[in-house]
Amino acid sequence: MPDLFDSPMPETAPPPGPVLRTTRLVLRPLHAGDAEHFHRLINDWEICRRLPDAPFPYPAQLAADWIEAAAADREAHRAEQFALVEAESGALVGVAGLRFGKGQKTAELGYWLGRAHWGQGYTLEAARRLLDWAFAALPLSHVTATVAADNEASMAVLRHMGFTQISKGVKSFMCRPGQKLPVKHFTRERELLAAGVAAEAPKGGVLLVAAAALIDSQGRILLARRPEGKKMAGLWEFPGGKLEPGEPPEAALARELREELGLETNPKDFAPFVFASHAYDSFHLLMPVFLCRRWKGEPQAKEGQALAWVAPDRLVEYPMPPADRPLIPMLRDFL
């Protein structure tokens, strides 16, 4: 199983954090009440020998310290650690988490599961849910994992989630002092291609999409972040959407702004600005982009998306789909 990381000593009780759900599990922040069960699960040679930072025997106090430190890491945006809890019974079955690199641009995935719960698909279910949330909620470009070379089950989980092996190496394991054991390193990149959009276009055909650069009185532009559960989740884009058959771009844009943001607009207020033309693997995207400075109402996240008003010179800081990125210098120079 991937390395679960060393954590600094705690300062406070676990703060509130994200709660994620799957069909059978709840992923929630660890708390002090988990310490006894946490220790009972992890104090197992078959688990500790797969975790570089787990001694064996595993001290009960270390379990309590690790849980408290996880709260400090969350508060400091160094890591997100989750208790894996059976939804039906409420029993703790393991732990999964991400430790972040600088600016949360990268993360290292780690997890372990109590031996009684192996072979039930819990690890894949939890890790997949964790990654879906992370790519949607955080500015990650890729996630890595390091696995003991003999841990075939963990490597199978990673490959099921789209990780690829990039190298081999050796690493010290606390349960085997003075030894360095072989490990394998894996990575998974953020999905940038619009695979879900491709399904809406005939293979090899052209998909028409209209988008708007909404500009407020301070000259900022509105971006929307695709929410979890949608393709390209976590990427920022200019509001808009696909044209219906026979629908003019301006009419489609007015409809999309109403449905996505609750804004009422007049197509006459859309000023044609530029168009994006991008070839994806199985279709071609053509996207006219309009400027708009007038609308009624305040933007609302009707589809659960995050919204941000962004100064033109900061647009480059927001990860976008390939078709949107070439628009950044044009908007920056124009505004």
Model pLDDT for residues 21-48, shown as the tens digit of each residue: 999 999 999 999 999 999 999 999 999 9
> Which residue stretches of 5-101 are H helix?
35-42, 45-48, 60-75
Q: Tell me the one-letter amino acid at 169.
A: G
Q: For the chain, which domains are there?
A: 20-189 (3.40.630.30), 195-334 (3.90.79.10)
Task: Determine how many CB atoms are found less than 10 A away from the CB of residue 230.
Answer: 15
Query: What would the mean pLDDT of 172-180 be, rounded to a whole number?
Result: 90
Query: What would the mean pLDDT of 220-246 be, rounded to a whole number?
Result: 86
More confident site: 143 or 326? 143
Query: What would the mean pLDDT of 108-120 be, rounded to a whole number?
Result: 95
The β-bridge relationship of strands 106-113 and 142-148 is: parallel
pLDDT higher than 60, residue 195: no
Distance (Å, whole) CA 11 – CA 62:
15
pLDDT higher than 70, residue 192: no
Three-state secondary structure call for residue 269 = helix
**Nearest in space to 97 (alpha carbons), one of 193, 14, 165:** 14
Q: How confident is the model at residue 102, as a pLDDT? A: 87
